[in-house]
Every structure is written in structure tokens, then in C-alpha cells.
A = this chain, B = another copy of it.
């Protein structure tokens, strides 16, 4: 006999495959929901179904939204001359939470990786080239991860963009806000030191 009967075990197995969950947390979530079949369970099912039906990729930027083009691509307040290139929709969400960028996004859908067989044709590079070449485009910000794959991808994209009349930038590297020096790796410390700036006593803390 398995430790639970089939529909319960099936639910545990499927939840356990979700990122960040394992068998233990999947069992906990399953039991929580089974005890609340008419409240939390129903709400989760409804939210999943609504999202599954309503959400689709934006054909312009590759982000996810209930509309296509997405709200950011439609928003006349967002600067169409500045394009922020990210790997994943999660990065769009993270940057939006930071409220630090008022332009538009372009989601590549991953990074180049020769070992995994991910080439430029697997990423949204061609549509990026088209958007970057649009009249009035001023800046393409490469907001890719500071990993080997992210930086390889950034170099590839920067190379491809070279002929265009557009400024190509990348995110600053340095000490994270709130970061303590003695917990930082040497790479970050070295990058922060190399990119040091004049101390501006009039600036923000």
C-alpha cells in the first residue's frame, strides 16, 4: 500500500514537481487544501483556471498578460525609445516591483547555452533586432543575469546591435543595497572597486 490513496498521492506528486516545493511541502499543501475543500481549495482551482484561460504571451515583448499586446506595451506613458532586454518574465516583474524603469521590455526567453543547445534562434533575438531598429529607438539596456550564460548572451546581443544607431548599456555591478562587505564574493567586490564613483556629499545616502 502506498502512503496515501491515489487521488491524494497524485496531487502530492504533481505539486511536488513545482519549483521550490518537494514531497514534504507538497504533502503539507495537499492536506491544507483537502481540509478546506470548499474554501481555499475552490479558490485556488478557480484562480488557476482563470489564469490558464486569460493569460497569454505578449506578441510584442514576450511578457505575460491578459491582453496582447500587454499593458506595458500599450501604455502611452511608457517611453518607447528605451528598451530593457531581460531573460524571463520574472525579471519584468522584478523590475516593475522596483519601479525604477519607465521604458518597455523585451523578454529573450532564456540565455544562450551551448551545452544545453540553446542558440540565438531559440531566443527572441530577431524580434529584438526589429524593435531596436525602429525609428526613434535610443537605448537598449541589457538587464541580463551576472552569470556566465547571462554575460555571454549580453555580449552576443550587444554584438548584433552594433550597427544600429542606438545606445547599448548594461546594469551596473557592485555592492547590493544592504549588503555587508565581508559577506560579498571577491568578484563583486572587485567589480564594485573597479567601478567606484566620486563620493557625492550632496547626493542621496
Partner of A3, one of B27, B29, B97: B97
Is there an interface contact between B25 and A20, defined as CB atoms closer than 8 Å?
yes
Task: Please give, as numbers and ranges, the residues of chain B lying within 8 Å of A6 by CB-CB distance.
Answer: 66
Residues of A that sit less than 8 Å from B by CB? 1, 3-8, 10-11, 14-15, 17-21, 25, 27-35, 37, 40-45, 47-52, 54-55, 64-67, 70-71, 88-90, 93, 96-97
In the complex, A52→B37 CA distance in Å? 6
Is there an interface contact between B27 and A90, defined as CB atoms closer than 8 Å?
yes
Sampled A-B contacts (5; CB under 8 Å): A3-B97, A7-B54, A11-B47, A18-B44, A34-B55
Most buried by B among A11, A49, A65: A11
Task: Please give, as numbers and ranges, the residues of chain B lying within 8 Å of A4 by CB-CB distance.
Answer: 93, 96
Task: Please give, as numbers and ranges, the residues of chain B lying within 8 Å of A70 by CB-CB distance.
Answer: 5
Is there an interface contact between B51 and A10, defined as CB atoms closer than 8 Å?
yes
**Shortest distance in angstroms between A192's beta carbon and chain B's nearest beta carbon?**
26
Task: Please give, as numbers and ranges, the residues of chain B lying within 8 Å of A14 by CB-CB distance.
Answer: 40, 43-44, 47
Known A-B contacts A4-B93, A51-B7; A29 and B34 likewise in contact (beta carbons under 8 Å) = no
Known A-B contacts A14-B43, A28-B19; A8 and B71 likewise in contact (beta carbons under 8 Å) = no
Is there an interface contact between B32 and A19, defined as CB atoms closer than 8 Å?
yes
